[in-house]
């Protein structure tokens, strides 16, 4: 049975590159036409074009709170069947709180990817933490009253 390993690795290399560049077109191309996004705040179905429109403001937010890099530390892959793979990705996010004050934080998310031919697309994403709350807890964003 063919493994997804190389295809999965390429998806997450592209994802990290899309964050670093920043390249909203590259990031959105990794998602299915519509996908499910879940996290501590709830669940929603998202259309790829809506994601593409939202990415510049998301990237602006992370730039404003000092995100300097985001990289995948490790991937745990579980083959679900011939067309689907579940991947838990552990991310390292590096922020610059002030000159010479780096803050490193680890986050994780679980993704389900669907294979069509030789392409994988994200059809489900579960963020295991509230990123807005994380940056606030790290002192990178003023607390809300």
Cα separation, 27 vs 13, in Å, equals 11
3-class SS of residue 41: coil
pTM of the shown model: 0.89
C-alpha triplet 14, 45, 43: angle, nearest 5°: 100
Asked whether the beta carbons of 59 and 22 are under 8 A apart, the reply is yes
pLDDT value of position 1 = 34
Q: Are 102 and 96 in contact (CB under 8 A)?
A: yes
- pLDDT, one tens digit per residue, over 74-87 is 999 999 999 999 99
Per-residue pLDDT of the chain (145 residues; tens, 9 = 90+): 356 788 999 999 999 998 888 888 999 999 999 999 999 999 999 999 999 999 888 888 888 888 888 899 999 999 999 999 999 999 999 998 878 888 999 999 999 999 998 899 999 999 999 988 888 888 887 656 5
Residue-level pLDDT at 145 = 53
Residue 126's DSSP bridge partners are: 38, 110
Chain segment 8-20, per-residue pLDDT in tens: 999 999 999 988 8
Gap between the Cα atoms of 110 and 9, Å rounded: 14
Q: Which domains does the chain have, with CATH numbers?
A: 5-137 (3.10.450.50)
Beta bridge mates, 94: 69, 104
């Amino acid at each position: 049975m063919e493994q997804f390993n190389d295809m999965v690795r390429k998806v997450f290399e592209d994802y990290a590159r899309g964050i670093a560049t920043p390249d909203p077109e590259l990031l959105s191309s990794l998602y299915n036409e519509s996908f499910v996004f879940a996290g501590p705040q709830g669940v929603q179905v998202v259309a790829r074009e809506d994601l593409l429109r939202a990415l510049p403001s998301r990237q602006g937010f992370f730039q404003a709170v000092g995100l300097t890099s985001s990289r995948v530390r490790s991937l745990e892959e579980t083959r679900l069947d011939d067309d689907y793979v579940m991947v838990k990705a552990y991310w390292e996010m590096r922020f610059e709180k002030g000159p010479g004050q780096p803050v490193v934080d680890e986050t994780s998310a679980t993704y389900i990817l669907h294979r069509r031919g030789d392409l994988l697309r994200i059809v489900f994403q579960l963020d295991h933490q509230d990123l807005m709350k994380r940056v606030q807890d790290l002192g990178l964003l003023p607390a809300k009253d």
